[in-house]
Amino acid sequence: MAGHFEATPGGGAAVALDEVEIAILRSLAVQLLELIGPGDEPAEGEDPLAALFAEGPSEPPSDPALARLFPEAYGDDDTELRAASAEFRRFTENDLRTRKRDDALVVVRTLDALTPAGDSAAVLTLTADECRSWLGSLNDLRLTIGTRLEVSDEDGGEDGSLYRLPGSDPRKPMVMAYLWLGALQETLVETLMP
């Protein structure tokens, strides 16, 4: 179980994580929450139902990582498609941000509930619903890190440049995190396959 998810009864999964792995995952999830931004809570005295019908932004984010997490729906090749993308974004981005935020919060909360015993790893056991949240967050983390590292399709293969970075390259720690998150994501997906 060390280093990879295994299926548990009831559609969940479990993985053994040491103290350093827990700290890294938690830190990355918190950074993702900060990137996504706070939710729009209704102001005091404001109708909470009004927030359900609030319109989101119509322009794509300027931050490349956020643009990757909240991509254009129809591309931006012509004026008509840009208008359709803006309309789609206006009515969907707030909900998508909320879901991504909720997924990252599940990661933080499940990690906070762990208590590693000395040098031994703690076993993180997730329910089926928590697995789905973890999958979403692992994907969002990899997209964000991949965007920051400017990962392309050519970088990820067995002969890709990510695997050949020298130890002195300042990107090496983030590349290692990117690859590790990919392995976690892959094993979690495998546990959920019928």
Is residue 187 pLDDT above 80, yes or no? yes
pLDDT in tens, 127-186: 999 999 999 999 999 999 999 998 876 555 444 677 778 888 888 899 999 999 999 999
Q: How far apart are CA 33 and CA 43, in angstroms?
A: 21
- Is the torsion defined by CA of 162, 167, 168, 170 positive or negative? positive
Output the 3-class SS for 60-113: CCCCHHHHHHCCCCCCCCCHHHHHHHHHHHHHHHHHHHHHHHHHHHHHHHHHHC
Angle at Cα 66 formed by Cα 30 and Cα 20, nearest 5°?
A: 30
pLDDT of residue 182: 94
Beta bridge partners of 129: none
- Are the beta carbons of 73 and 85 closer than 8 angstroms? yes
Map residue 189 onto helix, strand or coil. helix
Cβ-based neighbours of 189, under 8 Å, separated by 6 or more: 135
Please report which confidence band the pLDDT of residue 80 belongs to, taking 50, 70 and 90 as the band edges: confident
pLDDT of residue 165: 80
Is residue 76 pLDDT above 70, yes or no? no
pLDDT in tens, 93-107: 889 999 999 999 999
Least confident of 40-44, 86-90, 122-126, 175-179: 40-44
How many CB atoms lie under 10 A from the CB of residue 28?
23
pTM, to two decimals = 0.85
Angle at Cα 10 formed by Cα 9 and Cα 15, nearest 5°?
A: 55
pLDDT in tens, 28-73: 999 999 999 876 555 566 666 665 566 777 788 899 999 999 988 8
